[in-house]
Each structure stands twice: as structure tokens, then as C-alpha cells.
Amino acid sequence: MASKKKIEQAWDKAKPIRGKNPDSWRKDKFGNKIRHGSYGTEGDYGWELDHKNPQSKGGSNKPQNIQPLHWEENRQKSDKYPYKKKK
């Protein structure tokens, strides 16, 4: 399980949503709405920590390689690198 520090570092990388409390609501890199309190869940706004460059492909566990990602997007991404969202 990720440390609280690592979770917060990732959360800070997500884009604030205009008109929403940035402590609670943000968007991941691909525009998916995520809610801070839904970390680790598979609900509508659930999110996870993702390795931009997967560890299976040599990616590190350092903060610069970690991003917040909606859990469904993370399943689509899997270990693809580079990854481009399907429309």
C-alpha cells in the first residue's frame, strides 16, 4: 500500500476542476474526474497511483514516475508505454 505522502504527491499532480474544491475534486491526465476520498476504490471517481513508465518496462518507483489515474483508465493503460487514450 502506498504511503500517505506518495498519495498526496500524486494528488497534487492532478488538474484542479474550475468551480470544484481542489482538495476534493480533480482530473487525471486524461480528463477523468477523480475524488480525493475515492483513492483505492472502483467507484465512479475512484483512482489509483500509476507508474507512467511501468516497472515491468524499467520504470522507477520515484515520485516523478507516479501519477494519479482513474482506476478504469489504469486498467486500459495496463503496462502500455507510451500510452495514448482511446477515444
How high is the pLDDT of residue 48?
A: 99
Q: Is residue 16 in some structural domain?
A: yes
Residue 63 lies in a domain: yes
For position 86, what pLDDT does the model report? 74
* 85 lies in some domain: no
Q: Report how far residue 65's alpha carbon sits from residue 49's, in angstroms, rounded to the nearest whole number.
A: 10
The whole-model pTM stands at 0.94
Q: Is residue 70 part of a domain?
A: yes
Using the Cα atoms of residue 55, residue 79, residue 27 and residue 21 in order, give the sign of their dihedral: negative
84 domain residue, yes or no = no
In a domain, 71, yes or no: yes
Cα separation, 75 vs 23, in Å, equals: 25
Query: Are 55 and 61 contacting, i.e. CB atoms less than 8 angstroms apart?
Result: yes
- The predicted-structure confidence for 3-48, as pLDDT tens digits, reads as follows 999 999 999 999 999 999 999 999 999 999 999 999 999 999 999 9
The continuous run of DSSP H or E covering 68 comes out as strand 66-70
Which domain, by its residues, includes 32?
4-77
Within a domain: 87: no
pLDDT in tens, 48-72: 999 999 999 999 999 999 999 999 9
Residue 87 confidence class, pLDDT cut points 50, 70, 90: low
Look at residue 68 and tell me if it is in a domain: yes
Judge residue 61's burial from the number of C-beta atoms within 10 Å of its C-beta, 0-12 exposed, 13-18 middle, 19 or more buried.
exposed
Number of domains in the chain: 1
